[in-house]
Structure 1
Amino acid sequence: MIDIHTHLLPGVDDGSPSFDVSLAVLERFAEQGVSTLVCTPHLNAAQASQAPVVRHQELFAELQQRAPSGMTLQLGWEIMLDSPNVDLTAPELSLGHSRAVLVEFTRGGLPRGASAELRRIARAGRTPVLAHPERYFGCTLEAVREWRKLGVVIQTDASVLMGRGVPSELARDMLAEGLIDILASDNHGDSRSLASARDWLLERGGEEQAVLLTFANADSVLSDEDPLPVPPLRSGLMDRVKRIFGR
């Protein structure tokens, strides 16, 4: 598996507070089958030109040196689009050494011009990977369809698929429509993982979806290739019953 969205660079944001916590998560991920992981600390677009690149590279080098054998680490950011028209083309703002940039909006609601901003990033030669759209108040399936037509890659948080509430329902509806390109853990030094979503998909007969969502499409994006289409995976009768009765 490949996890392109984690907050395991220690002590830099609201994610992992220490190397010990990060390394424990990395060991668990390695046991579960994660071969490549991207550290994506938070960054506001308005502060992109003052991003602490050197400090993060130093921390990353130490984490990489202490990571489990056989696991590849890469460095990137999760960029909050808090200000429009910011130049995000600097190589150090990308996911690893790719053209992809992981971006997000606030949970409070999609800003006016959200689609235009994503289009602008794509036209600047970057591949916008939109983190957890299921979280954003006002997000709809129609909006997700529009963004994907603009060249936006849709990344959903793995744990949301198995949750309850509006974000989880939207995520499962997106899965049923084939609108999710990549799953990621968004781990903050906690128990979240890709493995739980992979197993959830396999239990529902989603072998092809599991491969595409937890490995192949992330590999493609990090290699500057287009993600492959993910076949729709619709919930069965028992899933709907469990959702209704909360069991």
Structure 2
Amino acid sequence: MFSFFQKKVFLKDHLNGLVDIHNHILPGIDDGAATVEDSLALIKMFSELGITEFIATPHVMNDYYPNTPETVHKALEEVKLALPEAGLNNIKIKAAAEYMMDQSFLEIIEKEKLLTVAENFVLVEMSYFQAPINLNEILFQIQTKKYQPILAHPERYAFYHSKDLIKYEELKDRGCLFQLNLLSITGHYGKNIQETAFQLLDRNMIDFIGTDTHQMRHLDKLLEIKMSEKRIDQLKPIFRRTTETFKPFFD
């Protein structure tokens, strides 16, 4: 009841050194940055927030963004070549992918090595309308291939929302790690998603954090948001865990 009176602080002041493991900053291959210039503008803004290490995760979605390791690495090289001229010599960037869990994903996992966030961690998502009917099979196949699934933005799947979070518990039991979107806690996607994000935080169910930045307006939102010190304190260990888990893969 006293949360209204709690001191609020800027979220941006606590992002320094974070490794961003979920973003769409590679140019021209999904709904994120359209050009190399867009990529550089986003990276420059990130660096002003103290974020200089990125694992880029373009969509792999058969009907819309049928990316392959070749298309992803081509876009990555375009950005890396442009960094010095833009004065962004301190930036480290690697490429992975955000895989849509659908029938085509099962075909991909059989045919090729996945673009992992690091080691065996693979970032996956599902439709915002419903879970795939063969979700259990997909998760089983991911783990049979010795990958560890990280579910992107679990708080955004409205069909899982509930007071008891039972569906999220089931996903955890199936071996899913959870990656929270920072934008979710700002209310960017709506109040219900924000509330579910807080529920997951309160239950200590979040493993990692990412920005899921597609456009400059997403970073503008992160610059503006203030949060209670209590919420910041909840996020700090997740920031640390994310950075400690993924930073070694840049060395």
TM-score, normalising length: structure 2 = 0.76
**8 Å contact 2:19–2:247 — kept in the other structure?**
no
Deviations for 1:126-153, whole angstroms, at most 9, x for unmatched residues? Answer: 0111111122231142122222233211
How far did residue 162 of structure 1 move?
A: 1.9
Structure 2 residue aligned with 1:177: 203
How far did residue 46 of structure 1 move?
A: 8.4
Structure 1 residue aligned with 2:183: 159
Q: Equivalences for 1:1-247 in 2 at 5 Å? A: 1-44=18-61, 51-67=67-83, 68-83=88-103, 85-88=106-109, 90-95=112-117, 97-140=118-161, 141-163=165-187, 164-193=190-219, 196=222, 200=226, 203-206=228-231, 209-220=234-245
Q: CA 1:15 to 1:153, structure 2 compared with 1: closer, same or farther past 3 Å? A: same
User: For 1:71 and 1:172, how far apart are their aligned partners in 2?
Assistant: 31
**8 Å contact 1:2–1:215 — kept in the other structure?**
no
User: For 1:47 and 1:121, how far apart are their aligned partners in 2?
Assistant: 22
Q: CA 1:13 to 1:213, structure 2 compared with 1: closer, same or farther past 3 Å? A: same
Q: CA 1:214 to 1:74, structure 2 compared with 1: closer, same or farther past 3 Å? A: same
**8 Å contact 2:29–2:71 — kept in the other structure?**
no
Q: CA 1:114 to 1:193, structure 2 compared with 1: closer, same or farther past 3 Å? A: farther
Structure 2 residue aligned with 1:234: none
One-letter code of the match for 1:29? Answer: F
How far did residue 22 of structure 1 move?
A: 1.1
Q: Structure 1 stretches (4+) deviating beyond 6 angstroms?
A: 45-48
Q: CA 1:116 to 1:108, structure 2 compared with 1: closer, same or farther past 3 Å? A: same
Over aligned residue pairs, what C-alpha RMSD do you find? Answer: 3.0
Q: CA 1:91 to 1:215, structure 2 compared with 1: closer, same or farther past 3 Å? A: farther
Question: Percent same amino acid among aligned pairs?
Answer: 24
User: For 2:247 and 2:172, how far apart are their aligned partners in 1?
Assistant: 17
What is the number of residues matched between the two proteins?
Answer: 221
